[in-house]
Amino acid sequence: WRVASGVNVTLIPEPMEGRAAQYRETFTNEYGWFEITGIAPGRYRAIAWSDEAPCDFFDPAAVAACGGGIVEVTDSGRFPIGLRLQGSY
């Protein structure tokens, strides 16, 4: 693993339809960590990217090309997730 600071992290709700207000985006800190608050319980695709978004993550047909990992948010709290960075770094 290599720490990636200052990269975008986006949570995309699954299913996406009618949930555009639940998208969340932030940046990693100098240690590669990030925090997103106010997330509604549910299933999300988490993607990390540095230069250009790996896909159109508002298009349900294209979101599979985003890569990333699936996160299940059930409660408030903190939990680590590992993401592979999309793009060059």
- Which tens digits make up the pLDDT trace of 36-56? 888 888 899 998 888 888 888
* pLDDT score recorded for residue 25: 92
Residues 6+ apart with CB under 8 A from 33: none
| Sign of the four-CA dihedral 54, 88, 27, 39 | positive
* pLDDT score recorded for residue 82: 67
Specify which residues 12 forms β-bridges with: 45
Global pTM reads: 0.79
In what helix (H) or strand (E) does residue 75 lie, and over which residues does it extend? Answer: none
User: Which tops the pLDDT comparison, 24 or 89?
Assistant: 24
Query: What is the C-alpha separation between 23 and 28, in angstroms, rounded?
Result: 17
Residues 6+ apart with CB under 8 A from 37: none
